[in-house]
Amino acid sequence: MNARPIFGEQGAGSGTLPGKPSLRIAPEGTAPRSPLPGAALRPAVLADVASLERLMSPFVATGDLLPRSNYDLCRHIKEYVVAEASPGGEIVACGSVKIYSQHLGEVAGLAVKPEWQGAGLGRALLEALILEARAHGLNEVLALTRKNESTFH
């Protein structure tokens, strides 16, 4: 596993993406915010757990994601952000910010359905998660990958 600082004292940049508008996640109970045409970001809710399991399952099977039990997803659902396709409301991407201390967090469980990959949705989701981490007052966020640097996009 490789640790990748996203922003903070060990610094790999500011955590924002050049040329991209800042994204905010829609507060619970409001309309989702759209990072890209056809998808909108919103906080995950308990009703999303089965969809998250289905979305992450192929990535767990290939070893690209660590497994998360139904219990863990339920227990940590407030850490997750989902991208919802429109129309239809299918969850097509997800990710979370795990908080380890008052200053440190981790972007985890980042998954994008294969047919949505390459359109910038993962990048938009990552930017939204970084903003979420900053909103919690974190000044350092890392990400772990199970891929070699040469194959990680």
Q: Which residues contact 148 (CB under 8 A, 6 or more apart)?
A: 2
Q: What is the arithmetic mean of pLDDT over 121-130?
A: 93
Write down the domain spans for the chain.
Answer: 2-11+31-145
Residue 34 pLDDT exceeds 80: no
Report whether pLDDT(80) > 90: yes
Q: What percent of the chain has pLDDT over 70?
A: 73
Write down the H helix ranges in the chain.
Answer: 49-61, 70-75, 121-135
Dihedral angle computed from the Cα positions of residues 88, 113, 93 and 30, in that order, rounded to the nearest 10 degrees: -10
Given a cut of 50, whether residue 99 has pLDDT beyond it is: yes
Average pLDDT over the chain, rounded to an integer: 81
Architecture of domain 2-11+31-145: 3-Layer(aba) Sandwich (3.40)
Count Cα atoms within 13 angstroms, Cβ side, for 57: 8
Distance CA 47, CA 28 (A): 13
Interval 114-127 mean pLDDT: 92
How many CA atoms lie less than 13 Å away from 7 in the CB half-sphere?
A: 17
pLDDT for the residue 103:
94
Whether pLDDT at 7 is above 90 = no
